[in-house]
Structure 1
Amino acid sequence: MHHHILENELLHLERVIAWASQKPFPPTYWRDRIEHLKSSPQAPMYHKRLDRLSRLVAELSE
């Protein structure tokens, strides 16, 4: 995944998950998207942001 694509995806998820609820997408949907980004070669550069998103999604599940 190219750097700018990963950056755009992170920005999108950071905006959307901050306002997400259980609908229309369940937390598993968001978790899967984050896990997909973690498999990117550039993911280590974004470790803190990905961890923060993972925590936000975990809170949605509660």
Structure 2
Amino acid sequence: MMHRHILESELVHLERVIASASQKPFPPTYWRDRVEHLKTSPQATMYLNRIARLSRLVAELDE
């Protein structure tokens, strides 16, 4: 189970990194797995908009 402050830190990190990510060094599947993991947190409902935005950014990496 991910605590709220850890979830928040992970969101901030992913928002920074994914926004400027490319295919290297990590493929989009790596980022997708990281974002999907956030959805399993009990606190995820508080962050649905941010998680959805990250999911869209990762989908754009596949294009």
TM-score normalised per structure 2? 0.97
Which amino acid in 2 is paired with 1:21?
S
TM-score normalised per structure 1? 0.98
User: Runs (4+) of structure 1 moved beyond 6 Å?
Assistant: none
Percent identity of equivalent pairs: 81
> Does 2:49 align with 1:34?
no
Q: How many matched pairs?
A: 62
SS class of match (1:9): helix
Which amino acid in 1 is paired with 2:13?
H
Structure 2 residues not aligned, in runs of 5+: none
The structural deviation recorded for 1:45 is: 0.4
> Does 2:14 align with 1:21?
no
Which amino acid in 2 is paired with 1:2?
H
The structural deviation recorded for 1:55 is: 0.1
Q: Give me the whole-angstrom Cα distance separating, in 2, the residues matched to 1:48 and 1:2.
A: 18
Structure 1 residues not aligned, in runs of 5+: none
CA RMSD of aligned residues (A): 0.3
